[in-house]
Amino acid sequence: MTSTSASGQGAEYAATASEAYQAALRVIESVEPRVADATRKELADQRDSLKLIASENYASPAVLLTMGTWFSDKYAEGTVGHRFYAACQNVDTVEALATEHARELFGAPYAYAQPHSGIDANLVAYWAILATKVEAPGLAELGAKHVNDLSEADWEKLRAKLGNQRLLGMSLDTGGHLTHGFRPNISGKMFHQRQYGTNPETGFIDYDAVAAAAREFKPLVLVAGYSAYPRRINFAKMREIADEVGATLMVDMAHFAGLVAGKVFTGDEDPVPHAHVTTTTTHKSLRGPRGGLVLATEEFAPAVDKGCPMVLGGPLSHVMAAKAVALAEARQPEFRTYAQAVADNAQALADGFVKRDAGLVTGGTDNHLVLLDVTSFGLTGRQAESALLDSGIVTNRNAIPADPNGAWYTSGIRFGSPALTTRGFGTDEFDRVAELVVEVLSNTQPAAGPNGPSKAKYTIADGVAERVHAAASELLDANPLYPGLTL
């Protein structure tokens, strides 16, 4: 048991959780044993692999158990105290608790706990900004059509009806997210979009270049935040840029909300005091249930409150209850220890790669993620991801800036420290993880496919995957997932 654990409540807590899961699985087994089997196997697989996907974590048994209740059966469209369904008094209690914890934790004037995911949270935020800032007579005329039926000409008309509003966000290949104005995403269709990137030499955000793009493009929305940028953002600077051009600053802190909650990112690096609207998921570094959350200033609160039914289906009451539990956990002092360890461990992982001559985008990290350029091993991201998986190391391939292999094969592997930090890994273990990753990749070779060189096929030198998996298992056994929980 460590102070960074999601189940750091002691042996009695672990034993009680174990009994709860044993009973739950017996009940599931009596109806569909294959689901019970897959559930047991999923735990075994997660226990026996180095989970390094930067957007994943391990929620506590309290958070997980809260999701498995009869709150799931309740419809509750509307807001606290103002529902379109009867008998929502208990949903009101848990939703109010989730938003109260969120406001207190992040120091936000307003919170909305209904989004089912990060994409939903971003859509709620975009519509709230449009609804608050733009008058759009005639929108209903096109809004009556299903969104998938809209042709590019319809989108042009729709954008015209909205006054041709513009969005400036970080490009996908430099670490931004699909929902930050990527053309094939609805955020790139609702708005005229432009993307800012990073400095090609350093890989860092160039604030002067963002300011220049904002002055020229004059966006309604400036989006800051990332899914694969291994550095911190100065949100005070982003707000200055937004204010200069009259834009609304929206920050998507899905990846680093845990570092904000744990006070690793403070001052200019804390988005909440600087952004007009802040969105997040709750299941990444924040270590809660799978879902979304929107924080906003009072100006945007009335429009965000209309997220359901504008963008969202009925709120997931059981998940809102679990958000309340997770946010209560994140307000405990132990969570600050955890968040600091997440940052320290990512640093140790990056240092471990650098000292073994592996190329990193930006040369390192100062958040929770590390982006390894696997062209230094002569591999594509796809080959590297598969070879690591064969060796018990779970990662995801990711584009690097100006990626020569595109978004499918990619040239990068993204690593994150939140999950293994929850298991109790420290900096020594993360250095060892870097050593194991380098051992796999330096013993992996691209292989030819039936029609010549392949970006997917590879071979690993004999015995390497087995040796690395055994070494990984030693680290994992020393830092058990959900210790005391037997199924």
Number of residues that bind ligand DSN (CB under 6 A): 4
Q: What is the DSSP string of 415-445?
A: EESHHHHHHT--HHHHHHHHHHHHHHHHTEE
Q: 458 catalytic, yes or no?
A: no
Q: Name the catalytic one among 77, 240, 344, 366.
A: 77
Residue nearer to ligand DSN on the CB measure, 133 or 180:
180
Least CB distance to ligand DSN at residue 227 (A): 4
Q: Name the catalytic one among 83, 284, 323, 423.
A: 284
Residue nearer to ligand DSN on the CB measure, 175 or 424:
175
Residues pairing with 249 in the sheet? 222
Q: Name the catalytic one among 252, 269, 270, 403.
A: 252
Tokens 């680290």 -> residue: 475
Residue nearer to ligand DSN on the CB measure, 241 or 374:
374
Single-letter residue type at 463: G
Contact code string over 198-227 relative to ligand DSN, x by CB under 6 A: -----------------------------x
End-to-end Cα spacing for the chain: 19
Residue nearer to ligand DSN on the CB measure, 55 or 57:
55
Q: Name the catalytic one among 75, 103, 157, 207.
A: 75
Pairing of strands 396-398, 412-416: antiparallel
Residue nearer to ligand DSN on the CB measure, 192 or 397:
397
Residue nearer to ligand DSN on the CB measure, 362 or 398:
398
Least CB distance to ligand DSN at residue 369 (A): 9
User: Is residue 89 classed exposed, middle or buried when 0-12, 13-18 and 19+ CB atoms within 10 A define those classes?
Assistant: exposed
Q: Which of helix, strand or coil describes residue 266?
A: coil
Rounded Cα–Cα distance for residues 75 and 316 (Å): 8
What letter would DSSP give residue 198?
A: B
Q: 218 catalytic, yes or no?
A: no
- The residue nearest ligand DSN at its CB is 55
Least CB distance to ligand DSN at residue 397 (A): 11
Q: 281 catalytic, yes or no?
A: yes
Least CB distance to ligand DSN at residue 348 (A): 21
Least CB distance to ligand DSN at residue 55 (A): 3
What letter would DSSP give residue 453?
A: E
Q: Name the catalytic one among 40, 194, 290, 467.
A: 290
Q: What is the DSSP string of 78-145?
A: EETTEESSS--HHHHHHHHHHHHHHHHHHT-SEEE---SSHHHHHHHHHHHHHHHH---TTHHHHHTS
Least CB distance to ligand DSN at residue 260 (A): 16
Sorted by sequence, the CB contacts under 8 Å of residue 172 that are 6+ apart come out as 178, 180, 182, 195, 399, 407
Considering only residues 61, 78, 115, 118, which one is a binding residue for ligand DSN as defined by CB under 6 A?
118
Which has the closest alpha carbon to 235: 184, 62, 39, 243?
243
Q: Which of helix, strand or coil describes residue 167?
A: strand
Least CB distance to ligand DSN at residue 4 (A): 21
Considering only residues 5, 49, 55, 174, which one is a binding residue for ligand DSN as defined by CB under 6 A?
55
Rounded Cα–Cα distance for residues 332 and 258 (Å): 12
Q: Which of helix, strand or coil describes residue 56?
A: coil
Least CB distance to ligand DSN at residue 416 (A): 9
CB 180 within 8 A of CB 169: yes
CB 362 within 8 A of CB 203: yes
Rounded Cα–Cα distance for residues 394 and 412 (Å): 14
Token pair recorded at residue 367: 């958040």
What letter would DSSP give residue 70?
A: G
Contact code string over 63-102 relative to ligand DSN, x by CB under 6 A: ----------------------------------------
Q: Name the catalytic one among 281, 380, 421, 444.
A: 281
Residue nearer to ligand DSN on the CB measure, 16 or 46:
46
Residue nearer to ligand DSN on the CB measure, 177 or 239:
177
Single-letter residue type at 23: A
- Considering only residues 225 to 264 of the shown chain, the ones binding ligand DSN according to CB under 6 A are 227
Contact code string over 15-54 relative to ligand DSN, x by CB under 6 A: ----------------------------------------
Residue nearer to ligand DSN on the CB measure, 227 or 380:
227
CB atoms within 10 A of CB 10: 10
Q: 149 catalytic, yes or no?
A: no
Q: 284 catalytic, yes or no?
A: yes
Single-letter residue type at 412: G
Rounded Cα–Cα distance for residues 97 and 79 (Å): 13
Least CB distance to ligand DSN at residue 414 (A): 8
Q: 290 catalytic, yes or no?
A: yes
- Considering only residues 167 to 186 of the shown chain, the ones binding ligand DSN according to CB under 6 A are 177
What positions carry a catalytic annotation?
75, 77, 252, 281, 284, 290
The residues of the shown chain that bind ligand DSN, judged by CB under 6 A, are 55, 118, 177, 227
